[in-house]
């Protein structure tokens, strides 16, 4: 009888030695592919008891082709490339890795917010161009007089606000799924969605992407923000209408934005955000550190091993 097979459908790691050791120690075999299409995934996944997936499309057609698969594990927090509804309907458990890179994303979020708030980009560009002034290019309030608001108060949202607390910001968050006690215990003001946009000096987005949250940060919502406000998104690209954001920045209706994630990646070279001097853009690197990569691979492989053994998944997202 052949040992159970775990398949990595695609990956961008330097090595998958960690996954191999964990899978083989559990009595399985590991096969590695670099799938980009449905057909490639279907061919590679044939007979697998578990899949480890980075970017490959796990569509309804792919899921329907699986026979006896006990786990589809996404390398990461977001599961945008997996049809969760189809997986639930077909009885295929799907898991993510929600408990890695919390510190890295929170650090990156604060780095963007602080850089924007202290106007490091425009000040540095002015100095390189020969300008020398001991005042910044635009009005600059003190952080202690600013409201730092998160949309979402989960693991990363809380870590972001704890870091913002050290800078003296007033802290607030919007999250309709949590009880009042969570906010009270954390010393964070609870606000409505409307108030989050209206009162924020820094608005940082930390929500899952779903039908109800796609383009939550829209042109009408941006119009309710203060012209001096800053927007940061290190969560999911589809949460922000980036063309509406570019229009607001260009018109001076928003002071700045720090964006690490985009609806289309890589960001198209003709995207209007690239022409916005007040936008600080990074290429989906908020999650990264050498330690977070190792943690991601280990935790994802451990989840796949649970599937291999027929155990309940720790972080199933489609119950």
271 catalytic, yes or no?
no
d(CA 16, CA 107): 27
* 236 carries an active-site annotation: yes
Q: Is 265 a catalytic residue?
A: yes
Rounded CA separation 153/175 (Å) = 6
181 half-sphere exposure, CB direction, 13 A CA radius: 0
Q: How far apart are CA 175 and CA 183, in angstroms?
A: 9
Q: How far apart are the first and last CA of the chain?
A: 31
**Residue 149's closest CA among 197, 219, 184?**
197
Cβ atoms of 47 and 27 closer than 8 Å: no
CA nearest to 109, candidates 140, 74, 155: 155
Catalytic residue from among 265, 271, 306, 319: 265
Selecting among 236, 290, 303, 306, the annotated active-site residue is 236
| Active-site position among 165, 253, 284, 309 | 284
Place of tokens 């451990």: 302
Active site residues: 236, 265, 284
């Amino acid at each position: 009888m052949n040992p159970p097979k775990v398949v990595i459908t695609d990956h961008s790691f330097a090595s998958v030695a960690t996954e191999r050791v964990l899978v083989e120690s559990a009595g399985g075999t590991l096969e590695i592919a670099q799938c980009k299409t449905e057909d490639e995934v279907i061919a590679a996944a044939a007979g697998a008891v578990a899949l480890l997936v980075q970017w490959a499309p796990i569509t309804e057609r792919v899921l329907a082709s699986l026979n006896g698969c006990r786990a589809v594990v996404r390398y990461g927090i977001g599961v945008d490339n997996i049809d969760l509804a189809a997986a639930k309907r077909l009885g295929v458990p799907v898991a993510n890795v929600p408990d890695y890179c919390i510190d890295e994303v929170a650090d990156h979020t604060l780095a963007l917010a602080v850089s924007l708030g202290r106007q490091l980009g425009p000040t540095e560009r002015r100095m390189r161009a020969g300008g020398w002034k001991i005042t910044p290019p635009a009005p600059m309030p003190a952080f202690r007089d600013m409201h730092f608001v998160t949309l979402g108060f989960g693991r990363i949202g809380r870590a972001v606000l704890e870091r913002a607390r050290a800078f003296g910001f007033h802290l607030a968050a919007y999250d309709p799924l949590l009880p009042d006690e969570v906010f009270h215990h954390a010393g964070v003001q609870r606000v409505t969605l409307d108030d989050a946009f209206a009162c924020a000096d820094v608005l940082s987005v930390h929500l899952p992407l779903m039908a109800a949250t796609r383009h939550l940060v829209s042109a009408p919502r941006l119009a309710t923000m203060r012209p001096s406000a800053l927007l940061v998104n290190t969560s999911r690209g589809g949460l922000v209408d980036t063309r509406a954001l570019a229009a607001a920045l260009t018109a001076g209706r928003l002071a700045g934005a720090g964006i690490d994630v985009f609806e289309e990646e890589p960001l198209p070279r003709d995207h209007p955000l690239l022409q916005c001097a007040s936008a600080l853009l990074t290429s989906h690197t908020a999650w990264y550190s050498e330690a977070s990569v190792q943690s991601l691979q280990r935790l994802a492989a451990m989840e796949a091993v649970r599937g291999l053994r027929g155990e309940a998944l720790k972080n199933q997202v489609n119950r």
